[in-house]
Structure 1
Amino acid sequence: MVGRAEELSRLLAAVGRALEGRSCAVLLAGDAGVGKTRLLDELAVRATERGVRVLVGHCVDLGDVGLPYLPFVDLLRPVTGEPLAAAGQPALAGLLSGRAPVAVPEQPGGAPADLGRPLPRREPRPLLDDGRLQLFEGVAALLTELAVSTPLLLVLEDVHWADRSSRDLLRYLLARLAEEPVALVVSYRADDLHRRHPLRPLLAELVRLPGVDRLELEPLPDAAVGELVRGLADGVPEKTVDDVVARAEGNAFYAEELTAAGLAGETLPLALTDVLLARVEQLDEATQRVLRVAAVAGREVRHDLVAAVSGLAPAELEAALADAVHHHLLVVSVGGRYRFRHALLREAVLADLLPGERVRLHAAVAGHLTATPGAGTAAELAHHARGSNDLPRALSASLDAAVEAGRAGAPAEQLQHLEAALALWPAVPDAAERACRDHTTLLLDTAAAARRGGELHRAVALLREALRLLGEDGDPVVRAGVHSTLAQALGRIEDQAAAHRESTRAMALVPAQPPSVVRTWAAATHARTSYDVSRWAEGDAAADEALAAADALGLDSAWADTAVSLARVRGFGDRVAVQARLEEALARARRSGDTDVELRVLFNLAVVPYEDGDLAGALRWVEAGLARARELGMEWAFYPAELRHLGVVVRYVSGDWDGSLGLAEELVRVPDMAAHVRAVGLLVQVGRGDPAAAERVAWARGLAARLDAHVLLLLATAGAEIDLAAWAGDAGTAVERARAAVQQVHAYWNYDRLAVVRLVATALAPVADAAAAARGAGDDAAVQRWGAAGEELAAQARSAVEDHVQAIGGYGVEAAAWRARVEAEAARLAGRVAPELWRTAVDAFGYGHVYEQARSRVRLAEALLATGDRDGAAAEVRAAGEVAARLGAAPLRAAVVVLARRGRLPLDLPGARRVVEGGAVFTPRESEVLRLLARGRTNRQIGGELYISEKTASVHVSNILAKLGAGSRTEAVALAAARGLLPAPR
Structure 2
Amino acid sequence: MGRAEELDRLLASVDRALEGRTCAVLLAGDAGVGKTRLLDELSARAAGRGVRVLTGHCVDLGDVGLPYLPFVDLLRPVAGEPLTVAAQPALTGLLAGRPAPAAAELPAGDAADLGRPLPHPGSRAALDDGRLQLFESVAALLAELAAGTPLLVVLEDVHWADRSSRDLLRYLLARLADEPVAVVVSYRSDDLHRRHPLRPLLAELVRLPGVERLELGPLPDAAVGELVRGLADGVAERTVDDVVARAEGNAFYAEELLAAGLAGETLPLALTDVLLARVEQLGEAAQRVLRVAALAGRQVRHDLVTAVAGLAPAELEAALAEAVHHHLLVVSADGRYRFRHALLREAVLADLLPGERVRLHAAIAAHLAATPGAGTAAERAHHARGSNDLAGAFSASLEAAVEACRVGAPAEQLQHLEAALALWPAVPDAAGRAGRDHAALLLDSASAARTAGELHRAVALLREALQLLGPDGDPAARARVHYRLAQALARIEDQASAMRESAAAMALVPRDPPSPVRTWAAATHARTCYAVGRWDEGDEAAGEALAAADALGLDSAWADTAVSLARVRGGEDRAVVTARLEEALVRARRSGDVDVEMRVLFNLAVVPYEGGDLAAALRWIDTALTRAGDVGVEWSFYAAELRHLGVVARYVTGDWTGSLELVEGLTRVPEMAGHVRAAGLLVQVGRGDPTVADRVAWARGLTAHLDAHVLLLLATAGAEIDRAAWAGDAGGAADRARAAIEQIHLAWGVDRLAVVRLAAMALAPVGDAAAGARLLGDDAAVRRWEATGEELVAAARSAVEEHLGKVGEYGVEAAAWLARVEAEAARLQGRAAPELWDAAVRAFGYGHVYEQARSQWRLAEALLATDDRAGAAEQLRAAAEVAARLEAAPLRAAVTELARRGRLPLDLPGAGRVVDPAAVFTPRENEVVRLLAQGRTNRQIGAELYISEKTASVHVSNILAKLGAGGRTEAVAIAAARGLLPH
TM-score norm. by structure 1 comes to 0.63
Equivalent residue letter for 2:508 = L
Indicate the SS of the match to 2:796.
Answer: helix
Structure 1 partner of 2:819: 820
Of residues 202, 211, 223, the one that matches 2:241 is 202
What does 1:307-326 correspond to in 2, within 5 Å? 308=307, 315=312, 318-319=314-315, 322=318
Aligned to 2:698: 702
- Greater CA drift, 766-775 or 538-547: 538-547
Describe the shift of the 1:411–1:921 C-alpha distance in structure 2 as closer, same or farther (beyond 3 A): farther
Q: Which residue of 2 aligns with 1:334?
A: 331
Q: Which amino acid aligns with 1:884?
A: A
Cα offset, 1:885, TM superposition: 4.0
Task: Establish whether residue 619 from structure 1 lines up as the match of residue 615 from structure 2.
Answer: yes
CA shift in 2, pair 1:435/1:894, >3 Å: closer
Q: Secondary structure at the match of 1:350?
A: coil
Tell me if the contact between 1:295 and 1:350 (Cα under 8 Å) persists in the aligned partners: no
Cα distance in 2 for residues equivalent to 1:667 and 1:695: 15
Q: Partner residue of 1:767? A: 766
CA distance in 1, matches of 2:450, 2:609: 31
Q: How much has 1:437 moved relative to structure 2?
A: 1.5
Are the counterparts in 2 of residues 415 and 450 from structure 1 also a CA contact under 8 Å? yes
Could you say which residue in structure 1 is the equivalent of 2:714? 715
- Offset, 1:463: 0.8
Q: Is the 8 A contact 1:444 1:463 kept in 2?
A: yes
Give me the whole-angstrom Cα distance separating, in 2, the residues matched to 1:333 and 1:522: 55
Match of residue 27 from structure 1: none
Residue 350 of structure 1 is aligned with which of 336, 349, 352? 352
Q: CA deviation at 1:581?
A: 3.4
**Quick check: which has more Rg, 1 or 2?**
2
Residues 979 and 677 (structure 1), Cα distance of their counterparts in 2 relative to 1, 3 Å cut: farther
CA contact (8 A) 1:667 1:678 kept: yes
Summarize the Cα distance change of 1:249–1:529 in structure 2 as closer, same or farther, 3 Å threshold: closer
| Backbone CA RMSD of aligned residues | 5.7
Aligned to 2:118: none
* Separation (CA, whole Å) in 2 of partners of 1:860 and 1:768: 14
Q: Which among 180, 190, 200 is matched to residue 41 of structure 1?
A: 190
Instruction: Mark the CA change 1:462 to 1:623 in structure 2 (over 3 Å): closer, same or farther.
Output: closer
The aligned counterpart of 2:480 is 481
1:8 aligns with 2:35: yes
Q: 1:772-921 counterparts in 2 under 5 A?
A: 772-832=771-831, 834=833, 837-838=836-837, 841=840, 844-845=843-844, 852-853=851-852, 855-856=854-855, 859=858, 869-870=866-867, 873-874=868-869, 876-888=871-883, 914-916=912-914, 918-919=916-917
* Paired residues for 1:265-276 under 5 Å: none
1:382 aligns with 2:373: no
Please give the alpha-carbon distance, in whole angstroms, between the structure 2 residues aligned to 1:667 and 1:488: 27
Aligned-residue offset at 1:448: 1.9
On the 8 A contact 2:647/2:663 being kept in 1, the answer is: no
The number of equivalent residue pairs is: 761
Q: What does 1:81-480 correspond to in 2, within 5 Å?
A: 174=221, 200-202=239-241, 214-215=251-252, 304-305=303-304, 308=307, 315=312, 318-319=314-315, 322=318, 333-334=330-331, 346=348, 350-351=352-353, 355=355, 359-407=358-406, 409-480=408-479
Distance in structure 2 (CA, Å) of the matches to 1:764 and 1:578: 35
1:499 corresponding residue in structure 2? 498
Of the structure 1 ranges 570-579 and 541-550, higher mean CA displacement relative to structure 2 is found in 570-579
Is 1:519 aligned with 2:518? yes
Q: Identify if the C-alpha distance between structure 1 residues 936 and 44 changes in structure 2 by more than 3 Å, giving closer, same or farther.
A: farther
Residue 378 to residue 832, structure 1, CA distance change in 2 (3 Å): same
More displaced, 360-369 or 624-633? 624-633
Instruction: Give 1:546 deviation, angstroms.
Output: 2.1
Q: CA deviation at 1:409?
A: 4.8
CA distance in 2, matches of 1:472, 1:750: 33
- How many angstroms apart in 2 are the aligned matches of 1:898 and 1:197? 38
Give the Å deviation of 1:483.
Answer: 0.9
Shift of 1:461: 1.2
Shifted more, 895-904 versus 516-525: the winner is: 895-904
Q: Deviations over 1:849-879 (max 9, x none)?
A: 565455445545655666xx53xx3464244
In structure 2, the partner of 1:129 is: none
Name the residue aligned to 1:529. 528
Counterpart in the other structure of 2:263: none
Q: Relative to structure 1, is the Cα distance of residues 474 and 862 closer, same or farther in structure 2, using a 3 angstrom cutoff? A: same
- Secondary structure of the equivalent of 1:768? helix
CA contact (8 A) 2:926 2:982 kept: no
Assess, with a 3 A threshold, how the Cα gap between structure 1 residues 748 and 395 changes in structure 2: closer, same or farther: same
Equivalent residue number for residue 553 of structure 2: 554
Deviation for aligned residue 1:764: 0.3
Correspondence for 2:61: none
Q: 1:757·1:797 contact (CA, 8 Å) conserved in 2? A: yes
What stretches of structure 2 of length at least 5 have no aligned partner? 1-27, 43-156, 161-186, 204-212, 257-268, 943-948
- The Cα shift of 1:505 comes to 0.8
Aligned equivalent of 2:539: 540
Check the 8 A contact 2:786/2:828 in 1, yes or no: yes
Tell me the secondary structure at the aligned position of residue 376 of structure 1: coil
| Bigger relative contact order (CA 8 A; separation at least 6) | 1
Q: Give the unaligned 5+ runs of structure 1.
A: 16-33, 52-149, 157-172, 179-183, 220-246, 261-275, 962-967
Instruction: Give the 3 Å change call, closer, same or farther, for CA 982–562 of structure 1 in structure 2.
Output: farther
Give secondary structure in 2 for the equivalent of 1:514: coil
Which residues in structure 2 correspond to 1:588-667 (within 5 Å)? Answer: 588-589=587-588, 597=596, 600-601=599-600, 603-612=602-611, 615=612, 617-620=613-616, 622-623=618-619, 626=622, 634=630, 637=634, 657=654, 659=655, 661-662=657-658, 665=661
Give the % identical residues: 58
Aligned-residue offset at 1:375: 3.2
Could you tell me whether the CA contact under 8 Å between 1:302 and 1:337 is conserved in 2?
A: yes
Report how far residue 430 of structure 1 moved.
Answer: 0.9
Q: Residues 497 and 255 from structure 1, CA distance in 2 versus in 1: closer, same or farther, beyond 3 angstroms?
A: closer
From the superposition, tell whether residues 948 and 874 of structure 1 become closer, same or farther in structure 2 (CA, over 3 Å): closer
Moved more, 793-802 or 713-722: 713-722
Q: Distance in 1 between matches of 2:461 and 2:955?
A: 73
1:279-313 CA distance string (max 9 Å, x none): 86xx9xxx998888677656876565566557x6x
Distance (whole Å) between structure 2 residues aligned to residue 720 and residue 197 of structure 1: 18
Q: Normalising by structure 2, report the TM-score.
A: 0.63
Does structure 1 conserve the Cα–Cα contact (< 8 Å) formed by 2:562 and 2:584?
yes
The residue type paired with residue 202 of structure 1 is D
CA shift digits 1:339-364 (9 cap, x unpaired)? 8996588458623x6x5x66555444
Structure 1 residue 770, shift from structure 2 partner: 0.4
Change (3 A) 1:734 1:556: same
| Residues 358/464 of structure 1: CA separation in 2 closer, same or farther (3 Å cut) | same
Cα distance in 2 between the residues matched to 1:829 and 1:775: 10
User: What is the alpha-carbon distance in structure 2 between the residues aligned to residue 555 and residue 745 of structure 1?
Assistant: 36
Residue identity matched to 1:41 = D
In the aligned structure 1, how far is the partner of 2:505 from the partner of 2:730? Answer: 49
